[in-house]
Structure 1
Amino acid sequence: MIIYNQTLTITSAGNRVSYHDITEKIREIVEQSTVKDGLCVVASPHTTCSVFFEEYSHDKNYAGDEYLQVDLNNVLEKVVPRCLSEGQYYHPGPEHTKFGVELPKEKMRTEGTDLVPDKRSLLNTEAHIKGTFIGSSETFIIENKELQIGKVGYIYFVDWDQNRVRNRQCKVQIIGQ
């Protein structure tokens, strides 16, 4: 049995929800793994990010987002509006805010910045809820060295947090023979 791991680093936009088509990168990782038949797990270790599987939408808006992504944003915004002020949601409460602004700088470097966030950047409750709704991982079948995602299926990594630019990680693990 082969177990193959790789980590992708993805930089978020910081000023809007960031969608990243990672399909070709995942195909390359499957090829590098030398697994003929098995499973490929694609996961985010971040609580404000998701991995999802969707049809590629050829049309895009001016920001480069596919129309299905724009539609998803519009639907989710109705259910979970962007957190713009303290008290709009219970989270972040005073204890969490204290924890967030006192994080050691080394911890922040793993998220792609040397700066400890200010209190405003902690107002990302909607990003946590959207991450929970959509989920943090997807599992795909590998058959005859090929990712079984059909002709129109694409794999996306999304960062729901709009408050700052960050380097995010996407973990890929392939298990098989």
Structure 2
Amino acid sequence: MDMLLPKLLLATLCLVALVQHCQALVLTGACDSDHDCTVGHCCARWNPSSNLAVCKPVGREGQLCHTASNSMPFPFSGVRRFWRCPCQQGLTCEGSEGNIGHCRQPATTPGPEGRKRAWAPEEQARVPEGHAWRPEGPAWRPEGPVWKPEATDTFSYDDLLEWMEAEKALTK
């Protein structure tokens, strides 16, 4: 134990000296949109409090996700405001606490005209006043045996950002 303290002190001093002389940080995987990332990855914030975006893998079954990713297009042409990627194809983000959920197999329920859709909203979607968005609206298009909303047909990019800010304000 007597020799451990001087070694830790020396290691700390070396680390401080190294950091003082460091001019830049090279970060591989930095991105501006999903199109900058490889297949199976999205462009998301490094962490919740950072504006730095990096390529991260899409969510696998059981992993944490943000429920707003269910209505966002993938690939997305901008930087996500949250730090989780959407779930991989075939999975959906099921909310468990607030806006955070887990990637799960979607529960298929009968949709309009006997068709099926990947998910059924439990409550009316909260959107900014003046916007009328409904899962049964024209944005729903059949894709094989399930229905999937196409957010780009429903919201513009600015509307989506406004909706996300309103959602953030509602959860505070």
What is the TM-score of this pair, normalised by structure 2? 0.22
Q: Report which of the two has the higher share of strand.
A: 1
Q: Please say which structure displays the higher CA radius of gyration.
A: 2
